[in-house]
Amino acid sequence: MNEIIKILAKVEGGTVLDAATGKGEFIATLKQNLKSYVQIIGVDSSARSVEFAEKLFPENDVEIFRMNLEDLQFEDSYFDTVCISNSLHHLEHLDVVINELLRVLKPGGFMLITEMYSDGQQTPAQQSHILMHHWIAGVDRLSGMYHQSTYTKAELEQIAKKLLLKKTAIHDFYIPVDNPNKNCETLLKNCRDTLKKLETMPDSQLLIDEGNNLLKRLSEVGCASASRLIIAGYKN
């Protein structure tokens, strides 16, 4: 998170969109770290996530809407800043969403994307995070949700090019972990809970086997956050 904090500390956010806000995790980062902002609007298509985020941020300078990013209900150039964190690989029609995000961003407005990637020289503990993520994506797909494996670094760089931003800066970073075996409690719990859910689902044997291998791997090599790219720039 350190690189993101450094970037946000220089940004006067104005009216900010947090696209695919989920449970509002990135809104907390924005609130804490932006140099200033007037209002933060979080948008997500999941009713459960929106309900959760609304309760988390009752304050007047945050609003949460259930909305499809493919058809944003805001006029052109409504936002000074548009962010999307950890979500590109959740979007079924990425090009449509990118057009919408650029439409609602003012000319000269600031765009920030953060996304983990799946390749490159990552440590065995980071590979655990990537494998876990791909497993969860498989479980989501079995439940009928759209969730693809995370992009490669080159694929994210291609997405950055398509944005045609001015002064584009791409930061590649990860947060080193001293003892990867000590960091796995949340991931282990997620893994066990997901295995329980899989046991009640049809056609899930391959994913159950993959999940059991992951449990073993997590206890052997531990885990650490995967490397990520931050793509930042200003709309032309």
Ligand X SMILES: C[S@@+](CC[C@H](N)C(=O)[O-])C[C@H]1O[C@@H](n2cnc3c(N)ncnc32)[C@H](O)[C@@H]1O
Written as six digits, the tokens of 218 are: 């997590």
Check: CB of residue 231 under 8 Å from CB of residue 168. yes
C-beta closer to ligand X: residue 19 or 207: 19
- Provide the minimum distance between the beta carbon of 137 and ligand X in the complex, in angstroms, as a whole number: 10
Q: What do you get for the CA distance between the two ends of the chain, in Å? A: 27
Q: The tokens 């609130």 sit on which residue?
A: 31
C-beta closer to ligand X: residue 63 or 208: 63
C-beta closer to ligand X: residue 15 or 21: 21
C-beta closer to ligand X: residue 67 or 208: 67
Written as six digits, the tokens of 107 are: 């000319």
Helix axes 205-221, 124-142, angle to 10 degrees: 160
Footprint on this chain of ligand X (rule: CB under 6 A): 20-22, 25-26, 44-46, 49, 68-70, 85-87, 90-91
- Provide the minimum distance between the beta carbon of 219 and ligand X in the complex, in angstroms, as a whole number: 25
- Provide the minimum distance between the beta carbon of 7 and ligand X in the complex, in angstroms, as a whole number: 15
Task: Determine the residue with CB nearest ligand X.
Answer: 22
Written as six digits, the tokens of 151 are: 């992009």
- Provide the minimum distance between the beta carbon of 49 and ligand X in the complex, in angstroms, as a whole number: 5
In whole angstroms, what is the distance from residue 113 CA to residue 88 CA? 9
